[in-house]
């Protein structure tokens, strides 16, 4: 159950708030529609409910606000707009990454793919999916952690009729199993058709909170849709006949040759047209809108573009022999609590209406009919000790019959992880799921090898710089720049293509997630540094012989400095991208270390003190306690020598500043 209380958005400058004191309830076992014209505040209400936007008010999900729920993704499944994800990631890889983020078994990805009918597209890239397939994938992401509540923002917008019916059939099946469904829509007829309860918004305020039956009776009214090449003449004749019979008939002229006649029937309009010799191309019953903005809504409906099912699919619905692929049966689409209005919308064919004795989608043969909000089955409250387990719900099983309707993915049978996030597994799948990292690594190796060959041909380059492909004219070697770019992508792509939006924010600022990103970036940087030196040495050996690649005597401190430089650049890229939320800013922070920070550190450390002419770097090494057991003073002395160098000191200082800035921004976002 959802309880939204006093939701009010923060006003901008002197403008009124987009949402003002919105309160409503969405009960378990029912589909609740949040209805409103574009700009009415539906999306803002969802953002306030999910704590994705600042404002006042509170929302309880089964008695607890979202920030008090240990595993938000397992309680609330969210679909806001398009699927947030990198366009180069595969469908299956994206879902497996979210499995690690939600702490559920990896095989759950295959279960939801089968439920939404995307098994054949599991290896397709997200950027190649159509609108319909994107909606299916979005629903799969929402159902992945087996949540009790589904919150969707206009899920059927832009979908053809068959996909529309399938999607709402899945939502109806989820509600039939005791779940809570809240979705937004701008079409009143669609809200009356798919919902059990309708909450109407206008200019950011609740203007109606009704059952679907009451909404259909008070907001919608029947009308006759007529298309004729002589629409003007037919309109005048209808008005004349109404005055003569002293009947209340309203004729609305719409775009082209379309008329909407209120207060009459198809038989009366057809007889008048026949007696006067007027050709009629369409004559059908429809349901019109009487609410706010009704004229604009009706006009939009009259000018609607043809659907994907055909040019005149809305005007001439063809009877079907059975449900289409992925289409829900009539019993799953019909609201359980609200009878259909007197005149059905012509966008739904008459043969798709639910029969009176149709059995709703439910795991029991004869479930009780939900007739009011108090009759809706409420899911039991879970204690804090049971918070790590998904809400127990019955599941319908597909019997394999043709046209049995959409089947929800099975409940999670394996106990989820004790933590709401498996950050290390998530980060490994995130980094390895796209080709960008591999392309950067291959580019670094190729550029380093070519640069090492050129430096060897020119000569006068020390062997350590030759193996690292680091000319004196460049501030950083290619391996360090590549490691910094990979580190910046670790957070930059998260903000460009957020994957954890359902888990309170685009990128949750958890220290566990930051630690995982730093570990993966450091391991990748170490691997890149070793491969760079190995490839450069191999190429130089093949071209110039063994003498040029001999191991130097001081290889240990040189190796430590090289690995520390590359790893530090990778960590700096991660922290800078997390602070500034940009890959470009992360890479710029890495480049700024040798260009800006190193001269400043060199000026400070190399300058003698007023009391002694010894530089600061020498005083650090001399003043440190080097008498450690088991020869530990040698390792400490080596570390101090690295930090005392201008590049090492600048990199350490930059990492400390970026880490403090990251922690500060994370603490400030929590305080707000």
Domain at 33, CATH number: 3.40.50.300
Evaluate if residue 417 carries a pLDDT over 80. no
Please give the pLDDT value at position 663.
Answer: 85
Evaluate if residue 459 carries a pLDDT over 70. yes
Q: Pick the last residue of a domain from 188, 215, 242.
A: 215
Higher pLDDT, 549 or 166: 166
Evaluate if residue 407 carries a pLDDT over 90. no
Average of per-residue pLDDT across 159-168? 92
- Residue 24's SS3 state is strand
- Residue 445: inside a domain: yes
User: For the whole prediction, is pTM greater than 0.85?
Assistant: no
- pLDDT tier for residue 405 given thresholds of 50, 70 and 90: low
* Residue whose token pair is 């099975």: 410
In contact, 647 and 594? CB cutoff 8 Å: yes
- pLDDT tier for residue 217 given thresholds of 50, 70 and 90: confident
- pLDDT tier for residue 597 given thresholds of 50, 70 and 90: confident
Evaluate if residue 272 carries a pLDDT over 50. yes
Please give the pLDDT value at position 495.
Answer: 80
Ranking 164-178, 241-255, 657-671 by mean pLDDT, the lowest is 657-671
- Residue 250: inside a domain: no
pLDDT digits (tens, 9 = 90+) for 526-564: 999 999 999 999 999 999 888 888 888 888 888 888 999
Evaluate if residue 97 carries a pLDDT over 50. yes
Kindly provide the residue ranges of all beta strands, DSSP E only, lying in 10-81, ordered along the sequence: 22-26, 31-35, 55-61, 64-65, 76-80
Pairwise CA distance, residues 671 & 624, whole Å: 40
Please give the pLDDT value at position 3.
Answer: 95
Backbone angles phi, psi at 236, to 5 degrees: -65, -40
Ranking 90-99, 242-251, 455-464, 635-644 by mean pLDDT, the lowest is 635-644
Higher pLDDT, 287 or 161: 161
Please give the pLDDT value at position 229.
Answer: 92
Please give the pLDDT value at position 29.
Answer: 94
* Per-residue tokens: 339: 């009878």
- Residue 283: inside a domain: no
- Report the percent of the chain where pLDDT is more than 70: 72
- Residue 61's SS3 state is strand
Higher pLDDT, 369 or 543: 543
Pairwise CA distance, residues 298 & 239, whole Å: 20
Among 223-237, 401-415, 638-652, the range with the most confident prediction by mean pLDDT is 223-237
Pairwise CA distance, residues 477 & 536, whole Å: 13
Task: Give me the number of domains the chain comprises.
Answer: 2
- pLDDT tier for residue 637 given thresholds of 50, 70 and 90: low
Evaluate if residue 309 carries a pLDDT over 80. no
Ranking 26-35, 229-238, 332-341, 478-487 by mean pLDDT, the lowest is 332-341
For residue 524, give the nearest of 569, 472, 460, 467 by alpha carbon: 569
Please give the pLDDT value at position 368.
Answer: 33
Pairwise CA distance, residues 30 & 32, whole Å: 6
Q: Pick the last residue of a domain from 173, 196, 215.
A: 215
Average of per-residue pLDDT across 322-328? 35
- Residue 104: inside a domain: yes
Please give the pLDDT value at position 153.
Answer: 93
Please give the pLDDT value at position 386.
Answer: 37
Length of the chain equals 672
Tell me which residue range forms the domain holding 9. Answer: 2-215
Please give the pLDDT value at position 560.
Answer: 86
- Residue 191: inside a domain: yes
Pairwise CA distance, residues 107 & 465, whole Å: 48
Evaluate if residue 293 carries a pLDDT over 70. no
- pLDDT tier for residue 364 given thresholds of 50, 70 and 90: very low
Please give the pLDDT value at position 248.
Answer: 87
Average of per-residue pLDDT across 607-616? 51
- pLDDT tier for residue 507 given thresholds of 50, 70 and 90: low
Instruction: Output the DSSP codes for 612-665.
Output: -SS-HHHHHHHHS----GGGHHHHHHHHHHHHHSHHHHHHHHHHHHHHHHHHHH
Evaluate if residue 649 carries a pLDDT over 80. no
Evaluate if residue 251 carries a pLDDT over 80. yes
Mean pLDDT for all residues in the chain: 77
- Residue 48: inside a domain: yes
Please give the pLDDT value at position 68.
Answer: 87
In contact, 479 and 532? CB cutoff 8 Å: yes
- pLDDT tier for residue 622 given thresholds of 50, 70 and 90: low
- Residue 572's SS3 state is helix
Please give the pLDDT value at position 419.
Answer: 44
Average of per-residue pLDDT across 51-72? 89
pLDDT digits (tens, 9 = 90+) for 176-202: 999 999 999 999 989 999 999 999 999
Q: Pick the last residue of a domain from 171, 195, 215.
A: 215
- pLDDT tier for residue 333 given thresholds of 50, 70 and 90: very low
- Residue 254: inside a domain: no
- Report the percent of the chain where pLDDT is more than 90: 43
- Residue 627: inside a domain: yes
Evaluate if residue 369 carries a pLDDT over 60. no
Count of CB atoms situated within 10 Å of the CB of 211: 19
């Amino acid at each position: 159950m959802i309880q939204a209380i006093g939701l009010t958005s923060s006003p901008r400058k002197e403008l009124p708030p987009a949402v003002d004191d919105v309160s409503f309830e969405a009960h378990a076992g029912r589909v609740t529609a949040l209805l409103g014209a574009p700009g009415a505040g539906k999306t803002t209400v969802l953002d306030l409910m999910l704590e994705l936007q600042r404002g006042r008010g509170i929302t309880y999900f089964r008695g607890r606000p979202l920030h008090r729920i240990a595993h938000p993704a397992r309680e609330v499944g969210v679909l806001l707009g398009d699927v947030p994800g990198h366009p180069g990631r595969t469908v299956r890889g994206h879902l497996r990454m979210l499995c690690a983020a939600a702490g559920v078994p990896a095989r759950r990805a295959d279960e939801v793919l089968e439920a939404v009918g995307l098994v054949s597209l599991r290896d397709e890239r997200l950027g190649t999916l159509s609108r319909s397939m994107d909606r299916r994938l979005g629903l799969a992401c929402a159902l992945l952690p087996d949540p009790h509540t589904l919150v969707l923002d206009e899920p059927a917008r832009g979908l053809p009729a068959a996909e529309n019916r399938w999607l709402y059939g899945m939502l109806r099946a989820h509600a039939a199993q005791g779940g809570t469904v809240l979705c937004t829509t701008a079409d009143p007829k669609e809200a009356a058709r798919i919902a059990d309860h309708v909450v109407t918004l206008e200019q950011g305020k609740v203007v109606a909170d009704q059952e679907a039956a009451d909404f259909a009776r008070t907001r919608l009214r029947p009308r006759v849709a007529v298309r004729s090449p002589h629409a003007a003449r037919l309109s005048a004749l209808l008005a004349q006949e109404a005055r003569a019979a002293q009947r209340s008939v309203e004729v609305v002229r719409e775009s082209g040759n379309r008329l909407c006649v209120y207060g009459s029937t198809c038989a009366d309009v057809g007889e008048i047209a026949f007696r006067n010799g007027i050709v009629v191309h369409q004559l059908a019953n429809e349901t019109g809108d009487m609410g706010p903005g009704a004229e604009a809504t009706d006009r939009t409906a009259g000018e609607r573009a043809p659907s994907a099912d055909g040019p005149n699919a809305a005007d001439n619905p063809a009877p079907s022999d059975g449900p289409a692929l992925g289409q829900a049966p009539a019993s799953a689409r019909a609201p359980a609590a609200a009878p259909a209005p007197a005149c059905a919308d012509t966008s739904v064919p008459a043969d798709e209406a639910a029969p009176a004795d149709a059995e709703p989608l439910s795991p029991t043969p004869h479930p009780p009919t939900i007739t009011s909000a108090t009759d809706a089955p409420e899911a039991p409250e879970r204690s804090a000790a049971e918070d790590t387990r998904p809400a127990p719900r019955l599941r319908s099983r597909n019997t394999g019959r043709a046209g049995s309707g959409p089947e929800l993915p099975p409940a999670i049978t394996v106990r989820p992880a004790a933590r709401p996030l498996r950050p290390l597994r998530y980060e490994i799948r995130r980094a390895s799921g796209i080709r960008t990292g591999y392309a950067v690594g291959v580019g670094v190796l190729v550029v380093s090898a070519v640069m090492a060959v050129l430096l060897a041909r020119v000569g006068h380059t020390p062997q350590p710089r030759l193996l690292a492909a680091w000319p004196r004219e460049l501030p950083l070697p290619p391996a360090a720049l590549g490691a910094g770019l990979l580190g910046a992508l670790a957070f930059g792509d998260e903000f460009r293509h957020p994957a954890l939006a359902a888990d309170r924010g685009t990128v949750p600022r958890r220290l566990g997630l930051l630690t995982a990103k730093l570990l993966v970036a450091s391991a990748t940087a170490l691997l890149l540094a070793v491969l760079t030196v190995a490839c450069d040495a191999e190429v130089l050996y093949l071209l110039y012989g063994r003498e040029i690649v001999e191991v130097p005597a001081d290889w240990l401190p040189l190796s430590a400095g090289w690995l520390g430089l590359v790893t530090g650049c990778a960590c700096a890229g991660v922290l800078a991208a997390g602070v500034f939320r940009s890959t470009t800013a992360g890479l710029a922070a890495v480049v700024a270390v040798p260009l800006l920070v190193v001269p400043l550190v060199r000026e400070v450390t190399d300058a003698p003190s007023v009391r002694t002419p010894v530089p600061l770097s020498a005083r650090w090494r001399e003043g440190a306690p080097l008498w450690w057991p088991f020869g530990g003073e040698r390792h400490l002395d080596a570390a101090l020598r690295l930090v005392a160098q201008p590049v090492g000191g600048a990199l350490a200082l930059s990492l400390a500043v970026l880490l403090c800035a990251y922690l500060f921004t994370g603490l400030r976002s929590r305080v707000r």
